[in-house]
């Protein structure tokens, strides 16, 4: 039986690239998104081993319905990719508080909901893995991206905690941490960081790394966090070896507009 993958927020961007790549590799693919029409169009384009559905990741009941529907269709749930996310950029105080709250509801609560609702299905599977979309913004808090950066710190913490806790079930919980990726989400971003660092990654880069993690065997050798992109790796290494004052000064320089 083919393995299956359920991807949230997969009607476009990184999620759609993941869906296409895994479909090409013979997986049964669940394309779930708040934009069900767009998700269905991608599923129709891919073929009979793709299933689309509506999912607002901030709604736990929708997760329960979607996962039950997908698992009945696919036979079992092997891989969950918590990909859905949003980003607001610009001065913290000039961004409406409802936008900050929405960021947390989707980027953090969406991941909590997905992991919690998926566990009963993952425990039944012969092979099970969760891969979350974190970010290089979880290395050090980012100016002009405060709620987004905070949300990705939360994803990093959720991933680390569950990767340890769910070892008892044989389930690895991993994340990927790319720098900015060329998607609709980063167009017209109002943040000095992207203006200084630029956008060097595309959705396919992230999709290929997630495929590598999905295929990795062994529960110990695979690291919890996977950095994507040379610049991300440099920033991560610097944050580990530099005093906090240097990290802050570095971020002041790269975030200044």
Domain locations in the chain as residue ranges: 4-255
Whole-number average pLDDT of the chain: 86
Hey, what's the torsion of the CAs at 209, 211, 212, 215, to 10 degrees?
A: 160
What's the topology of domain 4-255?
Rossmann fold (3.40.50)
3-state secondary structure of 35: coil
**Known catalytic residue at 236:** no
Percent of the chain with pLDDT over 70: 79
User: Which tens digits make up the pLDDT trace of 133-186?
Assistant: 999 888 878 888 999 999 999 999 999 999 999 999 999 999 999 875 454 454
pLDDT at 244: 56
- Of the residues 60, 140, 148, 236, which is catalytic? 148
User: Which tens digits make up the pLDDT trace of 60-98?
Assistant: 999 999 999 999 999 999 999 999 999 998 999 999 999
pTM here is: 0.86
pLDDT at 188: 53
pLDDT at 193: 47
In degrees and rounded to multiples of 5, residue 174 shows phi and psi of -120, 165
Distance CA 9, CA 20 (A): 13
* Beta bridge mates, 51: 30
Shortest CA distance to 186 belongs to which of 69, 88, 105? Answer: 88
Distance CA 48, CA 38 (A): 16
Rounded to an integer, the average pLDDT of 21-36 is 98
Q: Which of 16-20, 135-139, 142-146, 228-232 has the lowest mean pLDDT?
A: 228-232
Rounded to an integer, the average pLDDT of 116-135 is 97
Rounded to an integer, the average pLDDT of 201-224 is 85
Eight-class DSSP state of 142: P
pLDDT at 198: 45
Beta strands in 26-169 (DSSP E): 28-33, 50-54, 79-82, 129-133
The yes-or-no verdict on residue 238 having pLDDT over 60 is no
The yes-or-no verdict on residue 1 having pLDDT over 80 is no
pLDDT at 137: 86
Percent of the chain with pLDDT over 90: 69
pLDDT at 139: 85
| pLDDT bracket for residue 127 (50, 70, 90) | very high
pLDDT at 222: 75
The yes-or-no verdict on residue 23 having pLDDT over 90 is yes
pLDDT at 256: 55
Rounded to an integer, the average pLDDT of 112-127 is 97
3-state secondary structure of 23: helix
């Amino acid at each position: 039986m083919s393995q299956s993958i359920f991807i949230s927020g997969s009607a476009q961007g990184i999620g759609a690239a993941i869906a296409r790549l895994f479909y090409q590799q013979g997986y049964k693919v669940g394309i779930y998104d708040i934009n069900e029409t767009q998700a269905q169009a991608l599923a129709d384009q891919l073929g009979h081993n793709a299933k689309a559905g509506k999912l607002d990741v901030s709604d736990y009941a929708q997760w329960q319905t979607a996962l039950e529907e997908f698992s009945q269709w696919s036979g079992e749930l092997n891989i969950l990719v918590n990909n859905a996310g949003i980003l607001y950029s610009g001065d913290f105080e000039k961004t409406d508080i409802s936008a900050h709250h929405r960021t947390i509801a989707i980027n953090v609560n969406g991941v909590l909901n997905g992991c919690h609702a998926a566990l009963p299905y993952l425990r039944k599977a012969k092979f099970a893995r969760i891969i979350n979309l974190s970010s290089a913004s979880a290395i050090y808090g980012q100016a002009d991206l405060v709620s987004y950066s905070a949300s990705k710190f939360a994803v990093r913490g959720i991933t680390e905690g569950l990767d340890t806790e769910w070892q008892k079930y044989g389930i690895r919980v991993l994340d990927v941490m790319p720098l900015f990726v060329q998607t609709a989400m980063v167009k017209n971003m109002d943040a000095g960081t992207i203006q200084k660092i630029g956008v060097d990654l595309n959705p396919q880069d992230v999709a290929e790394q997630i495929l590598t993690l999905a295929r990795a065997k062994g529960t110990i050798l695979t690291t919890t966090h996977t950095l994507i992109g040379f610049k991300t790796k440099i920033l991560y290494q610097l944050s580990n070896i530099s005093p906090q004052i240097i990290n802050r000064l570095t971020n002041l320089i790269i975030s200044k507009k």
